[in-house]
């Protein structure tokens, strides 16, 4: 285990070990969240941190960089999942949404492909 990982794993003095500070918006976020057991994204801006390697909650990734929310996926049972891309290594990850996630940011993320399609809208008229 690297020294960098060791420093990150220990709670900083004066900090709540049951919370983390969002790398993007700097909000102090509680680790507990309605609807998920392994919170690692901010309910305010939906950014995450590259902490899990193989399974949710393993906290085994060495990267530790910011994970940008890039899309929403919907599972067969209707559950929404946030797709994140690491800003350092490019790895993709999926996180279950939590009950206290910002609904406006979730909907904005889900409708992004419709608001800015990857092709000119004029092509639709030609179909």
Q: In 3-state terms, what secondary structure has residue 38?
A: coil
Residue 94: Cβ within 10 Å count: 12
Question: Which of 30, 49, 19 minimizes the C-alpha distance to 100?
Answer: 30
Per-10-residue mean pLDDT, the chain, length 127:
44 59 90 77 93 69 88 95 94 91 96 86 82
Structure tokens at 111: 């409708």
What is the structure's pLDDT at 74? 95
- C-alpha angle with apex 69: 71 to 11, nearest 5 degrees? 150
What is the structure's pLDDT at 34? 82
Structure tokens at 97: 């949404």
Return the DSSP state at 11: P
* Helix ranges restricted to H, the chain: 3-9, 103-115, 122-125
């Amino acid at each position: 285990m690297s020294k960098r990982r060791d420093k990150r794993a220990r709670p900083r003095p004066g900090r709540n070990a049951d919370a983390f500070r969002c790398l993007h918006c700097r909000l102090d976020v509680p680790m507990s969240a309605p609807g998920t057991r392994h919170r690692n994204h901010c309910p305010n801006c939906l950014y995450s941190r590259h902490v899990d390697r193989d399974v949710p909650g393993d906290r085994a990734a060495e990267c530790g960089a910011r994970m940008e929310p890039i899309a929403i996926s919907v599972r067969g049972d209707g559950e929404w999942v946030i797709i994140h891309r690491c800003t350092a290594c490019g790895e993709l990850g999926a996180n279950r949404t939590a009950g206290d996630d910002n609904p406006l940011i979730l909907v904005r993320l889900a409708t992004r492909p419709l608001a800015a399609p990857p092709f000119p809208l004029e092509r639709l008229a030609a179909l």
